[in-house]
Amino acid sequence: MSHTLPKLEYGYNALERWIDAKTMEIHYTKHHQAYIDKLNKALEKYPELQKKKVEELLKDINSIPEDIRTAVRNNGGGHANHSFFWSILSPEDQESFEGEISKCMHESFPELKSYQDFKDKFEEVAMARFGSGWAWMVYNPKTKKVELLSTGNQDSPLSSGLIPLIGLDVWEHSYYLKYQNKRNEYVKNFWSVVNWKKVEEIYLNAVAK
Ligand code: MN
């Protein structure tokens, strides 16, 4: 079984108020596809690993044979991160959030008084990532709290025992056509397409495990 692109639940132009159709198309059909192709190539010699979900490979990255570990970390990470990313975006306007995730966020970040405070903090994390990488809100099963962090390149929080709830790609390929050097505008506009219903669903699943 080889890895394939997940189905996009919306058209390339669906998220225009945040990102342009051309960027979406290239990002999905070229960048994401390239990670998948390289992951499949890396797994060619290891039929038993081909049966595993990419998330499983990343959770146990140190068990991956050394000769392909870096390839799986980079390209498996690229595949998992992008699949996750597409899944938490929505063309529907849903700026506000509520539910259990909101409670957990208040408990986890007592210093943050509003959604705006949270957004500011997340944007800080995204802007502080030097070079290519991702900004995340993750669930930490050990502390039962959510955390904000960034990872470099295509490193997945799964490899550190953390469960992604929100992920934002801050590689230049994800915004350069529309925003050029203005990563801060790209990051600020991100909130208008975050699918909080989906985030709540992922959070409830994570807590139930
Ligand atoms: Mn990307």
| Local mean pLDDT, 10-residue blocks, the chain (209 residues) | 94 97 98 98 97 97 98 98 98 80 94 92 96 98 97 98 98 97 97 94 94
> How many whole angstroms from 103 Cα to the centroid of ligand 1?
30
CA distances from 5 to 20, 60, 137 (A): 20, 22, 24
pLDDT in tens, 67-76: 999 999 999 9
Query: In this structure, which residues have their CB less than 5 angstroms from ion ligand 1?
Result: 169, 171, 174
- 168 close to 135: Cβ distance less than 8 angstroms: yes
Burial grade of 58 (CB within 10 A; 0-12, 13-18, 19 or more) = buried
- Strand-pair category, 133-140 with 145-152: antiparallel
Return d(Cα 107, Cα 171) in angstroms, integer.
Answer: 31
Return d(Cα 1, Cα 40) in angstroms, integer.
Answer: 9
Tokens 């597409």 correspond to: 86
- 192 close to 91: Cβ distance less than 8 angstroms: no
pLDDT in tens, 74-94: 999 999 999 999 999 999 977
> How many whole angstroms from 12 Cα to the centroid of ligand 1?
15
pLDDT at residue 95, rounded to an integer: 65
pLDDT at residue 28, rounded to an integer: 98
